[in-house]
Chains A and B, each alone.
Chain A
Amino acid sequence: MTSHSQPSVLWQRRSTRRYNPFLGFFSDYHLGLFVGLSLFYSLEVVLGNKTLKKMVSANVSGDLSSEMEVDAFRRLFPLRYHERFLLDSIRPDARPLGRARDTSLALGAVASADGSALAKIGCTTMLAAVKMEVMTPPKESPDEGSIAIEFYMPPICSPLVRPGRPAEEAPVVSKQLSDTILSSGMINLKELSLVSGKAAWMAYLDIYCLDADGSLFDAALLAAVAAFSHLRIPVVSLNEEGRVVVVSEENEEGKSEKEPVNKGKRKLTLSSLPFSLTCILHKNYILADPTAEEESIMETLVTVVLDSSGQLVSLYKPGGPVLAYASAVQDCIALTRQRVKELKSILNEAISDMEVD
């Protein structure tokens, strides 16, 4: 056997030039992290010391604080720590209040799905994939397909999730996502029909949270929208038994006389894509795109969903101690409007990247 004698290429490193959404994503991420971190640390030292001096002069926590380290202070008095930053209109990770974290998007991360996308906002990572299956449409709507959306938080994503005990946020985000996607009218369910009354597509959209660091809904929605824009519907035909089967692309061209059912309908026309931004309301501050730490300290969240034309799709404000005045909500919407522009260009870039490859 020749493979033995050759200088073995076992486990050779993957060449970086091939298109690999994960590879790109990880290298970007590291770069981003280093820049972010160095910035953050220098700031923390400056701000932290300032904070401590103020703390001592204010004599709030007495002798404890005089020797307290920045990190310990952060853990013991998280709210005060964050408020100290807010006074200077900056956040612990060096962002201005209204800015979202770096966002990246890669399409086609999962080869076993019909459409997939990996979205990353800061550290929050979402992997969404669409799988198409066939169903018999219900009698009420014989020429419509259906979409099933599920959001998962596997135990890998956060120390708070353990196997066997699903995270309590997961069903909430799941519900929000399917409400938003279905009500936004992004997908025309009629396009999912195959044979009226007989067969239609059921699109299973599964979104997995790989890393949970706040603003889960925003990242999940972005991944979901991107997965649908990457979706390529398989070409199918009806077989003798009346079941729908995939027409294989290469070999069986000659012998199958069966006409594909959905020729030329391989891509969904997506209209008015929904994008969202979550903001924290705390006192008079509005913090866009909070991290998990910020979410745990300041509880009033507002999520605004706008479609690509700027129409309001939905708005969630699940409780919280701060009342949202009309002006605050207006500000949130304004922030979202800006963010939608960013997200749109990120999505378009990802799509064009994909097409180049």
Chain B
Amino acid sequence: MAGKSAATPSTYSPSPAPKTKRPIFQDVDWVRPDGRGFHQCRPAFLKTGAVNAASGSAYAEFGNTKVIVSVFGPRESKKAMAYSGTGRLNCNVSYTTFAMPIRGQGSDHKGYSSMLHKALEGAIIVESFPKTTVDVFALVLESGGSDLPVVISCASLALADAGIMMYDLVASVSVSCLGKNLVIDPILEEESYQDGSLLITCMPSRNEVTQLTVNGEWSTPRVHEAMQICLEACSKLAKIIRSCLKETASAPKD
């Protein structure tokens, strides 16, 4: 039997393989699995100061997507690095082994670290910490879809919590294209069936896009529409991030 060959791991998950039949996503009057409207984001919960050992940290929970980001530094760069008049940004995103429905699937997100770096570098004033490095480390505790945008937004909150100088807060939102519909802030199930996706990271007060990726086939008006939806959601998300920071600041100081 093929299943008994040496190549297969000695254990397997009893969860059934993802269903091959595509749900009826194409219809216009289809309802999202969690009952949201197409252009409605999941409720967001954000909190600073999740990790005491870090200079700044934040916890974000969007639906089932749960993320912690710690910021360390500015601190001494690694020895091998040459002198630099500007600061360095170092990003790392990792997954817990239980983040995905099947154990150990989180390793196929290697590109996320560099994506996070690209999304943040445009917003950070690196001149403000010459010769040193700021480390941004993210851990996805549980993956529930739209992981990267949540990590990016959470990282921006953690950077603010650490007092790293930024031009503006960074907010990130993605949309999935499912048949004729554009759905914002997709969950894992929607992401696995998507025809295309668009992710925007922006600095809402400056109206600047720091990162944009498009995947799958799109027409130009469609890209335009998706960008509009995302930018709108980004500015709302930025407000929530801001209010979260204000809350922390206005809380009775020691």
Decide if A and B touch, CB cutoff 8 A. Answer: yes
- Separation of A26 and B144 alpha carbons in the complex (Å): 21
Are B43 and A159 in contact, CB atoms less than 8 angstroms apart?
Answer: no
Are A136 and B51 in contact, CB atoms less than 8 angstroms apart?
Answer: no
- Which residue of A13, A30, A131, A156 is within 8 Å of B43 (Cβ)? A13
- Separation of A131 and B104 alpha carbons in the complex (Å): 10
Chain A residue with the shortest CB-CB distance to B42:
A11
Category for how many chain B residues contact A: 35 or more
**0 or 1 for each of B67-98: is its CB under 8 Å from A? (1 = yes):** 01110100100000000000000001010111
A206 CB-CB contact with B under 8 Å: yes
Are A116 and B240 in contact, CB atoms less than 8 angstroms apart?
Answer: no
A83, chain B: closest CB distance, angstroms = 24
B57 CB-CB contact with A under 8 Å: yes
Are B69 and A1 in contact, CB atoms less than 8 angstroms apart?
Answer: no
Are B103 and A131 in contact, CB atoms less than 8 angstroms apart?
Answer: yes
- Separation of A57 and B1 alpha carbons in the complex (Å): 83
Are A133 and B12 in contact, CB atoms less than 8 angstroms apart?
Answer: yes
Given contacts A1-B38, A26-B59, contact A246 B15 (CB under 8 A): yes
A117, chain B: closest CB distance, angstroms = 12
Are B11 and A202 in contact, CB atoms less than 8 angstroms apart?
Answer: yes
B54 CB-CB contact with A under 8 Å: yes
A78 CB-CB contact with B under 8 Å: no
Given contacts A11-B43, A116-B98, A236-B14, contact A155 B137 (CB under 8 A): yes
A13, chain B: closest CB distance, angstroms = 7
B68, chain A: closest CB distance, angstroms = 6
- Separation of A306 and B161 alpha carbons in the complex (Å): 40
Q: Which stretch in A175-183, A185-193, A207-215, A268-276 binds the other chain?
A: A207-215
Are A163 and B233 in contact, CB atoms less than 8 angstroms apart?
Answer: no
- Separation of A92 and B98 alpha carbons in the complex (Å): 37
- Separation of A109 and B66 alpha carbons in the complex (Å): 10
A22 CB-CB contact with B under 8 Å: yes
**0 or 1 for each of B225-239: is its CB under 8 Å from A? (1 = yes):** 000000001001101
B130 CB-CB contact with A under 8 Å: no
- Separation of A204 and B141 alpha carbons in the complex (Å): 16
In A105-158, which residues have CB < 8 Å from any B CB? Answer: 109-113, 116, 123, 125, 127, 129, 131-136, 150, 152, 154-158
Given contacts A112-B101, A134-B11, contact A12 B43 (CB under 8 A): yes
B-chain residues with CB within 8 Å of residue A150 when the two chains form the complex: 97
**0 or 1 for each of A244-260: is its CB under 8 Å from B? (1 = yes):** 11101000000000000
Are A10 and B53 in contact, CB atoms less than 8 angstroms apart?
Answer: no
Are A156 and B51 in contact, CB atoms less than 8 angstroms apart?
Answer: yes
A322 CB-CB contact with B under 8 Å: no
With an 8 Å Cβ cutoff, the count of chain A residues facing the other chain is: 63
Are A131 and B97 in contact, CB atoms less than 8 angstroms apart?
Answer: yes
A-B CB pair tally, cutoff 8 Å: 165
A-chain residues with CB within 8 Å of residue B135 when the two chains form the complex: 155, 162
Given contacts A10-B236, A155-B70, contact A244 B14 (CB under 8 A): yes
- Separation of A2 and B38 alpha carbons in the complex (Å): 10
Are B3 and A22 in contact, CB atoms less than 8 angstroms apart?
Answer: no
Given contacts A112-B142, A156-B68, A211-B50, contact A133 B13 (CB under 8 A): yes
B251, chain A: closest CB distance, angstroms = 8
A292 CB-CB contact with B under 8 Å: yes
Are A241 and B11 in contact, CB atoms less than 8 angstroms apart?
Answer: no
B5 CB-CB contact with A under 8 Å: no
Q: Which stretch in A33-41, A280-288, A295-303, A336-344 binds the other chain?
A: A33-41
A-chain residues with CB within 8 Å of residue B50 when the two chains form the complex: 26, 210-211
- Separation of A150 and B96 alpha carbons in the complex (Å): 11
A20, chain B: closest CB distance, angstroms = 8
Are B139 and A154 in contact, CB atoms less than 8 angstroms apart?
Answer: yes
Given contacts A14-B61, A127-B141, A133-B12, contact A206 B43 (CB under 8 A): no
B100 CB-CB contact with A under 8 Å: yes
In B100-150, which residues have CB < 8 Å from any A CB? Answer: 100-101, 103, 135, 137-139, 141-144
A23 CB-CB contact with B under 8 Å: yes
B30 CB-CB contact with A under 8 Å: no
Spell out A's residues near B (CB within 8 Å): 1-4, 8-14, 20, 22-23, 26, 30, 34, 37-38, 41, 109-113, 116, 123, 125, 127, 129, 131-136, 150, 152, 154-159, 162-163, 202, 204, 206, 208, 210-213, 234, 236, 241, 243-246, 248, 292
